[in-house]
Amino acid sequence: MIPIGIFSVFLLENAGILGAVINMVLGIGGLIILAPWFFRWYFICAGLMFGRTNMAQTKEDEISARLKHLQG
């Protein structure tokens, strides 16, 4: 992430409006990639706070299956 941050600051300082547009496109692209992951975990946590364990149990089973697959 540090090289991306340095590149982003370089673009903002030296490339003017074009650098700002490139940073905006990179930022929106990053949000599109990270939003589904974030909101899935958010809804799992919110469900646990209100006593709904179905999504958390499903995620736990999914993670357990991945770990068993990685262990051989």
Tokens of 69: 């697959």
pLDDT digits (tens, 9 = 90+) for 7-64: 878 878 888 888 888 888 888 988 999 999 999 999 999 999 999 999 999 999 999 9
pLDDT of residue 45: 93
CA 62 to each of CA 3, 19, 26, 67: distance values in angstroms, whole numbers, following the listed order:
33, 41, 31, 9
Burial class (CB in 10 A: 0-12, 13-18, 19+), 23: middle
Look at the chain and report how many structural domains it folds into. 1
Domain containing 23 equals: 2-71
Here the tokens at position 33 are 């990639």
Q: Identify the pLDDT of residue 26.
A: 84
Cα angle vertex 10, ends 6, 11, to 5°? 120
Confidence at residue 17, expressed as pLDDT on a 0 to 100 scale: 84
